[in-house]
């Protein structure tokens, strides 16, 4: 993954130290630059206690380096599910650092374990504690299914603000969604980065080299030429964009931009997949044509038709897409349901703030 580097040439020792501090500010998140709120970096104690492959202890399979918080399964074949279990500890010292004194008894925070898999255009959050978050040790269990991931998976705990902070003097964050603390991440290498294909696992190609892809002005393209296996493509002719999408950092400008690009691509892709699924679903039985469409319905039907049972919701979905009168409302509902999965305004605002801060 790409990392921003700053070269320090022909500087005195003092100047180099100053530049190093500037570099941390430039590549850090807004909370560690100059915004007036505290951020507890690496303050969450993130411990992986057990690792299993398909329900059996890892043993000597894979390359495990616990001190480096790294596991490689690149040379392991034939597994389906990787399971990690452990704990994340939030201590009172961290609570006092990132919350105002009036909130110490009931901190308005949410603790989550974030799983990022850039090559699969995937980011998931497992919520471990809803507000108020208490200083405590929280257990987690997370499954990583081989067919749904590719390349590198990063697990990192985050403490974020859950509600607006009231007025008053404080150096603590006030906005909902502000990151307050994190823990040292674990990195999981599942396979070589050159492996390609699969639903939402993009293949990187030069779009201008083939007639089956759009022109080189496109960043991505979802191909439904083979509806049994939709394929997402990224355009190698935009190398800076691809480089940002592969960034594995959690703070600073490039990760902010990566998050916005993810939001943009995923919003477009899920919208297309939903409409295609609706068209392929039988309006009499609610049955889909392909297995991936069942997964799409599982993700979105509750949001689209909260008052319907699963089968009735699928039937209604298929019916609405075939209705000239109901189609406009359905498209709006699909846009809303997809939008609910991503915090596009927040990610975009943070990127803008990052750019403004770096210009000052």
333-355 pLDDT, tens digit each: 998 888 877 666 776 777 787 67
Instruction: Provide mean pLDDT across the span 215-239.
Output: 85
Q: In the 8-state DSSP scheme, what is residue 322?
A: T
Instruction: Provide mean pLDDT across the span 138-157.
Output: 90
pLDDT at residue 238 above 60? yes
pLDDT at 214: 86
SS3 for 242?
Answer: helix
Cα(276)–Cα(280) distance, integer angstroms = 6
pLDDT at 273: 92
pLDDT at 225: 83
26-40, 100-114, 209-223, 252-266, range with the lowest pLDDT: 26-40
| 186-189 vs 220-223, strand pairing mode | unpaired
End-to-end alpha-carbon separation of the chain, Å? 28
Cα(95)–Cα(105) distance, integer angstroms = 10
| Rg, the chain, Cα only | 22
- Asked if 164 contacts 174 with a C-beta cutoff of 8 angstroms, the reply is yes
pLDDT digits (tens, 9 = 90+) for 8-54: 233 333 333 333 333 332 223 333 333 346 788 899 999 999 999 99
- Asked if 27 contacts 2 with a C-beta cutoff of 8 angstroms, the reply is no
pLDDT digits (tens, 9 = 90+) for 321-331: 999 888 889 99
Q: Residue 181: name the closest of 291, 75, 94, 86 by CA.
A: 94
* Annotated domain spans of the chain: 32-189
pLDDT at 274: 93
Q: How many CA atoms lie within 13 A of 10 on its CB side?
A: 0
- Asked if 218 contacts 235 with a C-beta cutoff of 8 angstroms, the reply is yes
Instruction: Provide mean pLDDT across the span 71-88.
Output: 94
Which pLDDT band, with edges at 50, 70 and 90, does 188 fall under?
very high
CA 113 vs. chain centroid, Å, equals 11
Among 7-16, 21-30, 133-142, 143-152, the range with the most confident prediction by mean pLDDT is 133-142
Give percent of the chain above pLDDT 90.
35
Instruction: Provide mean pLDDT across the span 135-144.
Output: 96
Give percent of the chain above pLDDT 70.
79
- Asked if 71 contacts 79 with a C-beta cutoff of 8 angstroms, the reply is no
| 179-183 vs 122-129, strand pairing mode | unpaired
Among 43-52, 179-188, 256-265, the range with the most confident prediction by mean pLDDT is 43-52
| More confident of the two residues 149 and 1 | 149
| More confident of the two residues 27 and 257 | 257
Q: How many CA atoms lie within 13 A of 76 on its CB side?
A: 21
State the greatest distance between any 2 C-alpha atoms of the chain, in Å, as a whole number: 76
Neighbours of 231 (CB within 10 A): 18
| More confident of the two residues 269 and 193 | 269
8-22, 37-51, 229-243, 251-265, range with the lowest pLDDT: 8-22
pLDDT at residue 148 above 70? yes
């Amino acid at each position: 993954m790409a990392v921003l580097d700053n070269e320090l040439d022909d500087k005195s020792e003092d100047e180099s130290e100053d530049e190093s501090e500037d570099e941390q500010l430039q590549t850090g998140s807004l909370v560690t630059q100059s915004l007036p709120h505290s951020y507890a970096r690496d303050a969450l104690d993130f411990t992986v206690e057990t690792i299993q492959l398909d329900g059996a202890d890892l043993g000597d399979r894979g390359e495990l380096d616990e001190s480096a918080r790294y596991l490689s399964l690149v040379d392991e074949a034939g597994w389906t599910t990787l399971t990690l279990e452990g704990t994340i500890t939030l201590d009172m010292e961290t609570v006092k650092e990132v919350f105002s004194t009036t909130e110490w008894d009931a901190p308005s925070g949410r603790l989550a374990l974030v799983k990022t898999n850039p090559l699969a255009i995937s980011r998931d959050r497992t919520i471990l504690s809803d507000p108020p978050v208490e200083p405590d040790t929280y257990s987690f269990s997370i499954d990583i299914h081989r067919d749904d991931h590719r390349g590198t998976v990063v697990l990192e705990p985050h403490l974020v603000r859950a509600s607006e902070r009231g007025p008053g003097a404080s150096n603590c964050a006030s906005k909902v969604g502000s990151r307050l603390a994190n823990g040292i991440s674990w990195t999981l290498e599942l396979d070589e980065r050159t492996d390609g294909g699969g639903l939402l696992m993009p293949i990187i190609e030069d779009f201008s080299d083939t007639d089956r892809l759009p022109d080189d002005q496109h960043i991505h393209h979802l191909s439904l030429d083979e509806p049994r296996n939709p394929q997402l493509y990224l355009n190698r002719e935009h190398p800076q964009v691809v480089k940002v999408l592969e960034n594995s950092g959690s703070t600073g400008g490039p990760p902010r931009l990566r998050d916005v690009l993810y939001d943009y691509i995923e919003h477009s892709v899920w919208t297309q997949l939903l409409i295609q699924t609706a068209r392929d679903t039988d309006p009499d039985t609610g049955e889909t044509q392909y297995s991936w469409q069942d997964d799409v319905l599982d993700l979105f039907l509750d949001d689209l038709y909260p008052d319907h049972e699963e089968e009735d919701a699928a039937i209604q979905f298929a019916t609405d897409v075939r209705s000239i009168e109901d189609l406009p409302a359905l498209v709006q509902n699909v846009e809303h349901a997809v939008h609910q999965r991503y915090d596009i305004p927040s990610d975009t605002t943070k990127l803008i703030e990052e750019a403004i801060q770096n210009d000052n």
